[in-house]
């Protein structure tokens, strides 16, 4: 099923003024692109993107003022189609009477905003791209650690929520527990957030469900976060060889985006919260070009070469 958002949601989020078409606020918007119908107003309708929000600025309204009422009525008769979500007028400019009459008749909302056209188009596009982005739900915990969005994954009972609780106690912020809704923006950015039903909640076995914001304050949670790192928790396997130096850089695919991944083995005595904190600090250093494992490997190689030559 293709994602969609209603005109009502856009209307409420952008704080528009409803000029007409209240009955059409339930119309669906299925594309994030906008249309400024300049060519269409001149009569060229071969490529009219009727499924987009139609945005009118100073140029469009000024041109319309030069047309006769009959000409405007003929144009809006073609622009107001069953697939047209809504018309948006920028700068609080007056909407043409002919548009209001035909839009009212066909149940198409006409909205007005005080913002300038360029800024308004950016805000609308950003909102629609977020709402219409592909969504994937994953089992895990999302925490903001030192500004890095960390998705902690692992089998049920491995200790994800308990680790998140300790991280919150250490000053970090919870985004989602158990279920993470992930939206893919602009093809490369993953934004995770919690389903509304379980927002701010942590499930701790033996303790039950706790509300993190109520316990630790508003600063202990955030509504969403870009996912920059994945940490997989798995029970310690004595037969498995784990990376001890850190030269191996693994990634995992989420919504067709490759995200850096670290596997942390779990066994009694290991403080997972501290390990994850250090992993985040080390991840940030690597992004700044300071790779301790690579530096160690280069120094070791140089030392071996010097001893061999001697």
> Looking at the annotation, which residues are catalytic?
139, 160, 178, 244
Strands (E), the chain: 5-6, 17-20, 28-29, 34-35, 53-56, 87-89, 110-112, 135-139, 141-145, 148-154, 173-176, 179-185, 189-193, 201-204, 208-211, 224-235, 250-254, 257-266
50 known member of a binding site: no
CB-CB contact of 55 with 35 (8 Å): yes
Mapped onto helix, strand or coil, the DSSP state of residue 81 is coil
156 known member of a binding site: yes
Residue at token pair 């990634």: 251
155 known member of a binding site: yes
Q: Let me know the angle formed at the C-alpha of 304 by 303 and 310, rounded to the nearest 5 degrees.
A: 90
**What is d(CA 132, CA 24) in angstroms, rounded to the nearest whole number?**
19
Mapped onto helix, strand or coil, the DSSP state of residue 298 is helix
* Among 56, 99, 59, 62, CA closest to 77: 99
Core vs surface per residue 141-171: b (16+ CB within 10 A) or e: bbbbbeebbbbbbbeeebbbbbbbbbbbeee
113 known member of a binding site: no
The per-residue DSSP string of 187-206 comes to TTEEEEE--GGGTTEEEETT
160 known member of a binding site: yes
Paired tokens of 170: 């250490």
Phi and psi angles of residue 304, each rounded to the nearest 5 degrees, phi first: -65, -40
Residue at token pair 């695919």: 253
Binding residues: 154-161, 203
Binding residues for ATP: 154-161
Binding residues for Mg(2+): 161, 203
């Amino acid at each position: 099923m293709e994602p969609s958002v209603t005109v009502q949601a856009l209307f409420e989020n952008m704080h528009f003024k409803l000029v007409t078409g209240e009955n059409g606020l339930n119309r669906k918007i299925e594309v994030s692109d906008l249309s400024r119908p300049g060519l269409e107003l001149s009569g060229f309708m071969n490529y009219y993107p009727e499924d987009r929000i139609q945005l009118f600025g100073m140029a469009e309204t000024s041109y319309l003022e030069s047309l006769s009422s009959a000409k405007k009525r003929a144009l809006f008769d073609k622009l107001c189609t069953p697939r047209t979500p809504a018309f948006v007028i920028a700068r609080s400019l007056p909407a043409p009477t002919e548009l209001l009459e035909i839009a009212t008749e066909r149940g198409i909302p006409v909205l007005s905003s005080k913002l300038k056209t360029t800024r308004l188009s950016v805000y609308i596009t950003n909102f629609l791209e977020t709402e219409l982005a592909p969504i994937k739900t994953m089992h895990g915990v999302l925490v903001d650690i030192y500004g890095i969005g960390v998705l902690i994954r692992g089998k049920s009972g491995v200790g994800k929520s308990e680790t998140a609780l300790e991280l919150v106690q250490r000053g970090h912020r919870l985004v989602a527990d158990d279920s993470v809704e992930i939206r893919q923006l602009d093809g490369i950015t993953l934004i995770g957030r919690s389903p509304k039903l379980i927002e701010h909640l942590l499930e701790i076995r033996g303790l039950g469900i706790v509300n993190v914001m109520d316990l630790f304050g508003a600063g202990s949670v955030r509504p969403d976060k870009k996912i920059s790192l994945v940490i997989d928790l798995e029970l310690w396997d004595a037969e498995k060889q784990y990376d001890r130096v850190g030269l191996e850089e693994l990634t995992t695919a989420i919504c067709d985006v490759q995200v850096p991944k670290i596997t942390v083995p779990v066994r009694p005595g290991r403080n997972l919260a501290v390990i994850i904190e250090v992993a985040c600090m080390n991840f940030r250093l690597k992004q700044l070009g300071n790779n301790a494992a690579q530096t160690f490997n280069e120094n070791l190689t140089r030392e071996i070469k010097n001893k061999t030559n001697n």
